Amino acid sequence: MKSKLFILSILVVTLQAVFAQRTVINPLPQTISTTVDNIAKPKDVRIVGKSDADIVAVNLLQSLFSESNNNKEYTIYIGEKSDRAVRKFRKHIPNKAEGYYLSIEKDKIVIAGHDERGTYYGVQTLKQIMEDEMLPIVTIKDYPDIVARGVVEGFYGTPWTFDDRVRQLKFYGDNKLNTYIYGPKDDPYHRSPNWREPYPADEAKAIEELVDIANQNHVDFVWAIHPGLDIKWTNEDRDFLMDKFEAMYQLGVRAFAVFFDDISGEGVNAEKQAQLLNYVDDNFIKVKGDVIPLTLCPTEYNKSWTNIERGYLPTLGSKLNPSTNIMWTGDRVISDIDTQGLEWVNKHIERNAYIWWNFPVSDYVRDHLLMGPAYGLDTEANDLMSGFMTNPMEFAEASKVAIYSVANYAWNINNYDWMATWENALKNVMPNNYEAFRTFSIHNADLGPNGHGYRRDESWEFKKTAHTYLQNTKIGESDLNISQKVQQEFMKIIMAARALQNSKDNDALIEEITPWLKQFSLLGESGLATTYLQTALMQNDKNTFDKLYNHVKLVKEEMYNISNTLNQNPYQPGVKTGSLVVEPLIDSLLVELSKQYTEKFGEQLPSLANYTPHLIYSNLVQVEKLPIRYLRKVVSISPMLEVLQIPAGGYVGLELVPAQAIVNTKINIGLDEFPNWAAVQVSKDGENWTDYRGELNQHKDWIGGKLFKEYRYIRLINTSNETQESYLKSFEVKTE
């Protein structure tokens, strides 16, 4: 008997593999039973049950077929488990919210949902199967592992446009995501200064339209408010929040969230937060009757910021109404999600965590695109989460690669294959230029150095070859096979960039990534030319080497200009591409080849490699990994978005290498006045410090004037005996 079961399981797996090769279903269903048989897509069908079934599901189904009332036509039965049309199939429907049963047979199709949303998802699966003109004989029983699955538009930077959001909501419906949380940090009516004020009429109308589109795709539109920066904990402010929720309710919103992330001061009080949310829950959410449970983003939203002895999380766990969701980013602000971390937080918040996964959000590395696979998600954690939201980039179309993957993970956690899902995501987003898009994405996956220390693999299919090629160059050897592989990769980069720039496959995506495509093409060109430099040097061809070196210089100058004219945001301006493997390979080759050129021909060459000698000077863990920018003699620390905790004696600053005179300095720590606990100091040796005087300008920037002596160190230090809270919005030093 056991052997028969084993053989049967092998057969089922094999059939599923054959089916999977023909059709990609996202998210991957929980169970698929199929045969090698198939039927031609029916030209006309009779739909039974449409008057009782979910109207959104019926509308979608009718868009897929030509409908006929002839009883002899191929029949499709559709409905929820209690509907007459599908009642006899009820035993096959999974007893799970949003579950469905889909059966395609030679004489009929059955789409039976556990509930209305389940029926809709059954039709969505049928729609994906129908991309082929032939339909497989198949039975699918399916349901999601996590109740709430979707996206939180919660990034800093330019919010998505109306059209972005429309495309997103339709994408969520297609991929069985059921939640969209509206909370862009730069919307002043979501956050300070205008969270107490109603939206202007045109913005209110846009939200109303988006809510309607969300409903058409079975997506819960969750409107979030962020009052913590200036909340007063008065009845008046409480009533302002209630009035704002009521105004959003009148626009059609039936799901709400309150955010207290990235704040300091009065707003961080856990007791007050719990009291406010319980009041809203008891007097608004539950009273309305048609509103889903409330969601809170707490101030301590990751483990590294949590002090259990201080009691913040335990207070929320014990005092916040049990129905309220509590969001969590993991062990750090930017973090993988694992079972151990979930078990830890669930114990303290006394409920399953509602995950806010900060990927592929790039608001702290805005010169990069994060196009790589969505990995680092525990496939044994399906019973430990109440929700899973991905926080995307400000580039809505580019974010779909990760969103597609999260849809798969949150639906079927145990069977999540992040690499296979990534490949399918690329094909879904850019179906006609998949290979070019894959080449671009594989070299635009890492974040570069950043304050959170979170990195991603990049150029993984090329990095071993790149390393070997560089080592060969350093010892003056040439491996024809390796050299050809390197040149082929640079050619692939050039051709991929050009193909995508001219693609009409996804206009919105190409518009978003055009700065990176331009830079990517030049990166490939500079790399290819550098390999020719190596050949010229080995052949003692100085004339060709000189010409090629000048060409690489021109390409590098063009890349520099792109990075200083495009994507000029105030935090991490510029355009970085291939920064983990490809760009360092090119720069390392240029350094090595210049050195060998000097040894061979006795002439010095100007350096073409990107190199910043200056260093972070700080004793704060939050700051020590922040990247440094160097542009036109201005050395700057990349700003932070989160609250900066500075203990007594804590400091943040720069080490200038070599020591040099300072022309001026600009520091902004996000406070209205420069505090008496802070001092700006300079030093030649890091031991003896001199106060550096300055004053605030109208933009609340501390401005320091010219220092004629050369200094190696400059810092802002907390001179008080207590921990202080501030921000790090800018720290810039202009040198001579």
Instruction: Give CA separation, 709 vs 448, 659, 682, 687, in Å.
Output: 34, 9, 10, 16
Residue 262 a catalytic site member? yes
**Residues pairing with 654 in the sheet:** 616, 714
What sign does the dihedral 285-290-296-297 (CA atoms) show? Answer: negative
| Burial of residue 64 (number of CB atoms within 10 Å: 0-12, 13-18, 19+) | middle
SS3 490: helix
Residues with Cβ within 8 Å of residue 315, at least 6 apart in sequence:
270, 271, 274
**CB atoms near residue 11 (< 10 Å):** 10
The structure tokens listed for 298 are 């707490």
Distance CA 94, CA 92 (A): 6
Q: Quote the CA–CA distance of 206 and 218 in Å, as a whole number.
A: 18
Rg (CA), the chain: 29
**Distance (Å, whole) CA 597 – CA 8:** 67
Distances (CA, A) of 115 to 99, 305, 332, 516, 688: 7, 40, 37, 44, 71
Residues contacting residue 718 through CB under 8 Å, at least 6 positions apart? 646, 647, 648, 649, 650, 651, 677, 678, 724
| Cβ neighbours around 659 below 10 Å, total | 16
Going by their DSSP bridges, the two strands 100-104 and 66-67 should be labelled as unpaired
- Rounded Cα distance, 203 and 187, in Å: 11
What is residue 536's three-state secondary structure? helix
* Exposed e or buried b per residue across 419-437, where buried means at least 16 C-beta atoms within 10 angstroms of its C-beta: eebbebbbbbbbeebbebb
> Do you know the residue count of the chain?
736
Determine whether 253 is exposed, middle or buried from the number of CB atoms within 10 Å of its CB (0-12, 13-18, 19+): buried
Give the helix/strand (H/E) hosting 56.
helix 55-64
Backbone angles phi, psi at 630, to 5 degrees: -135, 115
- Going by C-beta distance under 8 Å and a sequence separation of 6 or more, which residues neighbour residue 321? 277, 278, 281, 282, 294
> What are the φ and ψ backbone dihedral angles of 701, each rounded to 5 degrees?
-90, 135
Q: Which amino acid is at 346?
A: N
Query: Which parts of 475-618 fold into alpha helices (H)?
Result: 480-501, 507-538, 542-563, 582-601
Q: Per the residue annotation, which of 142, 220, 261, 262 is the catalytic one?
A: 262
Query: Cα–Cα–Cα angle for 478, 480, 482, nearest 5°?
Result: 90
Provide the 8-state DSSP code for 643: P
Residue 345 tokens read as 């937080």
Active site residues: 262
